[in-house]
Each structure stands twice: as C-alpha cells, then as structure tokens.
C-alpha cells in the first residue's frame, strides 16, 4: 500500500494505512523527491492521529523539512543556519533520529565521511536486528544512498 500511495500520489489510499511510521516515511520520501503536495497532505493526516514519542519527533522533522523544501535557503546562509538550529533542537529518539540525519544531509549539512559512518551504523543495526523499527532503518539506508542536497554546494573556497 505505501507503494500505491507513492506511485499514485493518492491520499485516499494513505488513509487506509494504519501504521503511522509508514505515512511518515512516505511523507519524508515525498519531500526529498520534491512532491510537496503529497507531503503536505500526509503531514496534515499525521497531525490528526495519535502519535508516540518517536512519531511526534518525526512529525516535527517532517514539518521543518517541508518548510525548508517549500522555501529553500539556497542563497541565505543565515536562513540555512536557523533551519539547522531548529532541526538540531528536536529531540529525536530511536528511528526518528534517522529522519533528522537524512534531513541534515538534504540541507547539505554533511560530508561524505559522516554519511559513510551513518550508513555503517545503520547496516550494523540491521545486521544485528538491534533497531526499534527496522523498516525505518532500511528506508534511511536507501534515502542516504540517494541523498542530494536541497541546494547546490557553494563554490566559495
């Protein structure tokens, strides 16, 4: 069903999804892919659901990622700094931290060494079945492999 939601951009199908984390991952993917209309609909849907601590943190991250993607701070280092400060202030326990990291990377705030380290840690978690939501870890691994900064890197020295 999540594939149907993504492929068809179908919010009606999304209403049938009972697992909040699935909607969160689809919304995050939509933001990274630039489908802000679907992401906005999913975020609104999530706001009306009962969420646990990790899901509430993930929703805060989605809201910030959506806001950032809607108004990219590409020519404003100060705006980017404020987005990153807000993102860093979100307490993201468990698997929701993966969305936070992915969003940092999407904002262009990570180097290849950091990304490689995160990927290794995710793989270790998956290999050892040590995560609180392994589906989110698989998603994060794929998202990190495809991560592209929202704004092109600066050419300044």
Output 39 or 15, whichever has higher pLDDT: 39
Structure tokens of 88? 């860093």
Q: How far apart are CA 125 and CA 132, in angstroms?
A: 10
Distance of CA 85 to the CA centre of its chain: 16
Q: How far apart are CA 14 and CA 11, in angstroms?
A: 5
Q: How many CA atoms lie within 13 A of 74 on its CB side?
A: 10
Structure tokens of 85? 């400060």
* 47 phi and psi angles, rounded to 5 deg: -60, -25
Instruction: Look at residue 135 in the predicted model and tell me its pLDDT.
Output: 85
What separation, in Å, do the N-terminal and C-terminal C-alpha atoms of the chain show? 47
Q: What is the pLDDT of residues 59-117, one digit of tens each?
A: 999 999 999 999 998 888 899 899 999 999 999 998 999 899 888 888 876 677 888 88
Rounded to 10°, the helix 96-106/53-70 angle is: 10
Range from 15-24, 41-50, 91-100 carrying the lowest mean pLDDT: 15-24
Q: How far apart are CA 142 and CA 152, in angstroms?
A: 21
Report residue 128's pLDDT band, with 50, 70 and 90 as the boundaries.
confident
What are the extents of the domains in the chain? 2-145
* 77 phi and psi angles, rounded to 5 deg: -55, -30
């Amino acid at each position: 069903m999540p594939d149907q939601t993504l492929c068809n951009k179908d919010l009606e199908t999304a209403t049938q999804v009972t697992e909040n984390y699935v909607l969160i991952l689809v919304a995050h993917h939509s933001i990274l892919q630039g489908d802000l209309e679907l992401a906005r609909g999913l975020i609104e849907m999530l706001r009306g659901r009962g969420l646990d601590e990790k899901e509430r943190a993930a929703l805060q991250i989605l809201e910030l990622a959506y806001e950032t993607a809607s108004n990219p701070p590409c020519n404003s280092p100060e705006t980017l700094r404020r987005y990153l400060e807000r993102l860093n202030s979100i307490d993201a326990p468990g698997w929701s931290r993966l969305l936070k990291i992915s969003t940092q990377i999407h904002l262009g705030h990570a180097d290849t060494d950091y990304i490689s380290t995160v990927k290794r840690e995710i793989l270790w978690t998956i290999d050892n079945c040590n995560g609180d939501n392994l589906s989110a870890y698989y998603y994060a691994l794929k998202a990190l492999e495809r991560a592209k900064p929202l704004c092109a890197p600066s050419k300044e020295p």
